[in-house]
Chains A and B, each alone.
Chain A
Amino acid sequence: MAEFLETTFEKFIFRVKVGYLYSNEDFWADMQGYMATVGLTDLLQKSKGDVAFLETVEPGTPVKRGQELGKIETIKATFGIISPVTGKVVEVNSELEASPHLINNDPYGAGWICKIELADPEVDKCELLQAESYMKLMKEKIAKEAKKLYG
């Protein structure tokens, strides 16, 4: 099975990692039992640009799905990191302080943002999208953006 689903717009290749779950806000969650690793999707990192600064809540902080657990600043925008799951942050990716570009270079791997101990994984799974469904959503978002740009 392919590791990624892909779609292309102009020269840009947008990827969705198979096996992860996705939120409507373009964040992913890799759920393993009661732990989830979360990060930005390829679509989000490409549309926002190169990450300059990142701030997150401290480990130990409870978060709810849909709530902000930090902020990212790129040259184009400052935006919230919206948690795709509910639980408690247990670890933040310390590599990102010195190397925030990992979010751009490897959004589904080395660019992970934090690990969250889940309150109820089954509830989160019901709210999140499988890779194929997120791919469909992503294509709609890309088409909408293209229409805005080119009419």
Chain B
Amino acid sequence: MMANEVPYVGIISCSGEGLPEGTLSLVACRQVLEDLRPGNSVTMCLPLFIAGGLEERTFAAKYPTITVDGCEKRCAAKATEKLSGKPTRSLIIPEILKKRGLPRPIKMRHLGKEEKTAAQAVAEEIAKAIDEVLEKA
């Protein structure tokens, strides 16, 4: 990366419709983009990335990526590795929640207080990961 370029990190979130952690992942990533690390983070649409989105794939090939997965199946990490290259960091929500002593979310939509607390915790971990990635770059 050239010295005068803006340092970006691409965040690729699991979009898992089949589990609450999927929704949590999307909410946390938006928090990072809008509040915690605006200007350095770029969220990438996983379905579009998978379906061949040129902008998504070009960006992922050029900049470091952090994947955020809702479960051990690690769809975001595996899809990113398959289509662009190994992500720089791979986060899994159940591990983050365990580390923070937070319960597993129950709701898939219309998040309650507990889910919002969990989303905030995940967002903070993503932000921390962004800082670490940019420091090394």
Across-interface contacts of B10 in A (CB, < 8 A): 11
Q: Which chain A residue shows the least CB distance to B45? A: A11
Q: How many residues of B contact A (CB 8 A)?
A: 11
Measured between beta carbons, the chain B residues less than 8 angstroms from A13 are 54-55, 58
Q: Tell me the residues in window 103-141 of chain A with beta carbons closer than 8 Å to chain B beta carbons.
A: none
Bound: A149/B38 CA distance, A: 8
Contact between A10 and B58, CB atoms less than 8 A apart: no
Report whether B56 and A11 are in contact in the complex, using a CB–CB cutoff of 8 Å: yes
For chain A, which range describes its interface: under 10, 10 to 19, 20 to 34, or 35 or more residues?
Answer: under 10
Within 8 A of A (CB), among B33-60: 38-39, 42, 44, 54-56, 58-59
Q: Mark A11-23, 1 if CB is under 8 A from B, else 0.
A: 1110000000000
A79 to B16, CA, bound (A): 35
Query: What are the residues of chain A within 8 A of B39 when measuring CB–CB?
Result: 146, 149-151
Can you give 18 A-B contacts (C-beta < 8 A)?
A10-B8, A10-B42, A10-B59, A11-B10, A11-B42, A11-B44, A11-B55, A11-B56, A11-B58, A11-B59, A12-B55, A13-B54, A13-B55, A146-B39, A149-B38, A149-B39, A150-B38, A151-B39
Interface residues of B (CB under 8 A from A): 8, 10, 38-39, 42, 44, 54-56, 58-59
* 5 further A-B pairs in the complex, CB-CB below 8 A; given A11-B56, A13-B54: A10-B8, A11-B55, A146-B39, A149-B39, A150-B38
